[in-house]
Amino acid sequence: MTVASPASLYSDLDVEWTLDAPLASHTWYGVGGRADVLIRPRSLEALTTLVRRCHRDDIPLRVLGSGANLLVDDDGVDGVVIKLDEPFFQAVEWNVDGRVERLRAFGGASMEKLVQHCARRGVRGLEQMSGIPASVGGAIRMNAGGKFGAIGDAVDAVAILGMDGEIRIFPREAINFGYRTTSLPAGIVVWASFRVTEDDPIACRERVLEIFKYKKSTQPMGAASAGCMFRNPTMPDGTVESAGRLIDLAGVKGTRVGAALVSPRHGNFLAFEPVFTNESGETITAPSRTDDMRQLVEMVQDAVRAKFGVELETEVVFWRRGERP
């Protein structure tokens, strides 16, 4: 991207912008380079106009959610990065007649906060998302979920801002939700509405806590990672297999490239462990780099392919300068 005159793209809009913006602090991995420009729209009108201008000028446009499922290249990314963390895009709206049958959350709202808010209020429908870090928009886009279900289970409708600047609303019946995929077209999730039911607040909180405790007991949640790196693959016989199990059987748990490590506890968690003890007993400090994680991902994929003839696809998204989003 080359923005010869920032005023021509965004400075006349109701936005906050940062040129040459560091992105590492916006991701759970805490690594990566800079964005040419990071823009935070304060209104739907500003977002819509910005998207139209980027489309008109063929400028790469990326949306940064919670950063829990993202690795940014060490050299950063070109174009515009949008972050929907202004109050308008974090809003959550409830029924106004007293009964709670639908709620609407905007794309920048925190999934974790929304789950906790529902539990305190005595609302069921989203507890399966307990312990899953994401923005609502990011969770919708990949149909995030786990053992207890996915966000698509509760969706009522989704509003998408297309790259042409037009907003289209898709009812649940028009959306196919699959394993970590949806049939939604390219664009930005402006908001999603969910079908929920009222329940006892104590029971709701207990259910959320139960699911969170399960995740904590089975996954290294404190590690500097983005959760599961790979999608569970479909085997040649048509069954879906655990990626973590295949990685374990391929013998690569504990494999390291620099500070990047395949968790010895859960093979599908690839994390950064910058301070470690080598085979000689020396304490080593290595820089956390996206390139090392990328190499580690390829090593794991090669090992699983060689042993099982299966291609592992990443859940984590890689951003690289020069690649079209």
Domain that holds residue 194: 91-218
Contact status, residue 82 vs residue 64, Cβ threshold 8 Å: yes
The one-letter code for the residue type at 208 is V
54 and 153 assigned to the same domain: no
Radius of gyration of the chain, Cα coordinates, nearest whole angstrom? 21
Positions marked active-site: 180, 228, 315
247 and 212 both lie in a single domain: no
Query: Locate tokens 């748990």: which residue?
Result: 253
**How far is residue 55's CA from residue 236's CA, in Å, rounded to a whole number?**
41
pLDDT tens digits, residue range 196-220?
Answer: 999 999 999 999 999 988 877 776 6
Local confidence band at 279 (pLDDT 50, 70, 90 cut-offs): confident
Q: Where does the pLDDT of residue 3 fall: very low under 50, low under 70, confident under 90, or very high at 90 and above?
A: very low
Could you give the 3-state DSSP secondary structure of residue 228? strand
Please give the pLDDT value at position 5. Answer: 42
Closest by Cα among 164, 170, 171 to 187: 164
d(CA 231, CA 312): 7
pLDDT class of 139 with cuts at 50, 70, 90: very high
Residue 205 inside a domain? The answer is: yes
Is 223 part of any domain? no
Give the CATH number of the domain where residue 287 resides: 3.90.78.10
* Of 72-86, 224-238, 253-267, minimum mean pLDDT range: 224-238
Assess whether 209 and 129 both reside in one domain.
Answer: yes
